[in-house]
Amino acid sequence: MMVQQTGNLPQVKDPQMNDRDRLNDLLATEKYLSMGYNVALNEFSHRELYDTVKMILSDTHDAHRVTFEQMFNLGWYKLPQQPLDTVALAYNQFSNYQGQFPYQQ
């Protein structure tokens, strides 16, 4: 039996997985796979294997993005909105780091 759920979790949840639980598990799995593929790519010496895993990594990133967007659109993955002055301060701070890069563009 599939438990349907809206954007808000109930106060007391039964042990059954609902749609939000499934998407959250999928998102965590995609993150885990991406990290593993990234490490593997750094270690491969065989070019064809490298290219194949790189393609799989790209597919994994795409699946992660689709899952994230679905959760975000359903209100199950929230990002706090920051005040404009906080964003401007962070932008200015990191913009000043550009002068430290070894290769200027």
Q: Provide mean pLDDT across the span 67-89.
A: 91
Look at residue 99 in the predicted model and tell me its pLDDT. 77
**pLDDT, tens digit, 9 for 90 and up, residues 21-39:** 999 999 999 999 999 999 9
Q: Name the DSSP class of 98.
A: G
pTM summary value: 0.66
Residue with tokens 């906080």: 86
- Read off φ and ψ for residue 92, nearest 5 degrees: -65, -40
Q: What is the rounded CA–CA span in Å between residue 34 and residue 76?
A: 22
